Homo-oligomer: A and B are copies of this chain.
Amino acid sequence: MRPELLSRALSLLPERGGRPELEHYLEMLRDYPQRGGKGIRSELLLASARVHGARPGTPAWEGALWLAAALELFQNWVLIHDDIEDDSEERRGQPALHRLHGTPLAINAGDALHVYMWEAVHRSGVPGAMEEFLTMIHRTAEGQHLDLSWVEHREWALQEADYLQMVELKTSYYTVIAPLRLGAIAAGVSPHPAFRDAGLALGTAFQIRDDVLNLLGDPAKYGKEIGGDLLEGKRTLIVLHWLAGAEVDQKEAFLEQMLRNRPDKDPGVIDEIHRWLLDSGSVNYAQDYAHAQARVGLELLEEAFQHAPDAGAAQELLGAVRELATRDA
């Protein structure tokens, strides 16, 4: 995220803990935000605020900055808990927080950042922002439940539609819909109703792109372990598409690995499955699906922005969103 958002978010934390354990607590809270996330969602929020006429230096812009900081805090507390839930090894090129400090302290640190997120929302003073955050997190938690419950119950009898519903809930709200809407309300404008459908499509494109990168991304850029989704038993459009047409022995080998907990999975077989997926047409299928969704979302957004107060800012936002859906990290 941009440095001014990082310092704004961290300015909510006390500077000193008063005793060594609480210094350590504050270090844990600052850790993920300081690892330098890309700030995709906060940039989208600020871009939307500009599109809707909020000008830097105005009170509206100040409100937008607090909401952007809150969105980054959201992303960071969710990642702390996500990494525990998925038992991920790495985050942004470094060990996940619970691998550094143990699960109990990491859960608590995530909860604490969650509270600082609400503090940032409150500081924004933007009417309606609290409701937006409530809706956004409800949908995200529902999507997260779908994802996690499939892992917990070894559920692989899923259709593409199941995956797509999960992604809409888990990714689209906080990645696209909420940033677009929050930018509008920070500028004092009622959000365009099409933001919802646009955001659902673009969020889906975004998540599928992430799933693809998890299989064939550049480890140096990606920041998470390549193939980590397979080790964590994640459902993806790629895997569900491949499963539907896979040879019986490959399918069996796959499901047999997916019945195992992460530490019991056979790295050799997982590597083999990884290759099968790359060699199948399923990565291309998913890429095409993502591109189609991105196109739908961008068209809806272009239409919604036709009468936007700042047409230049609207063009910039559309370009940035287009890049997101085709990014390579």
Q: Give me the interface of A with B, judged by CB distance under 8 Å.
A: 17, 19, 21-22, 24-25, 81, 84-86, 101-105, 107-112, 114-115, 118-119, 122, 130-131, 134, 137-138, 141-142, 144-146, 148-152, 165
Contacts and interface: CB of A to CB of B under 8 A. Distances in A.
A105 B145 CA distance: 6
B115 A145 contact: no
A142 B23 CA distance: 10
Contacts of A145: 21-22, 24-25, 105, 108-109, 112
Nearest to A118: B118
A142 B111 contact: no
Contacts of A19: 146, 165
A83 to B, nearest CB: 11
B105 A148 contact: yes
Nearest to A17: B142
CB-based closest 6 A-B pairs: A85-B104, A112-B141, A25-B145, A104-B148, A115-B137, A21-B149
B105 A84 contact: no
Contacts of A142: 17, 22, 25, 112
Given A22-B142, A112-B141, A115-B141, A107 B84 contact: yes
A320 to B, nearest CB: 29
Contacts of A102: 152
A9 to B, nearest CB: 15
Nearest to A165: B19
A128 to B, nearest CB: 11
B149 A134 contact: no
Contacts of A86: 104
Contacts of A84: 103-104, 107
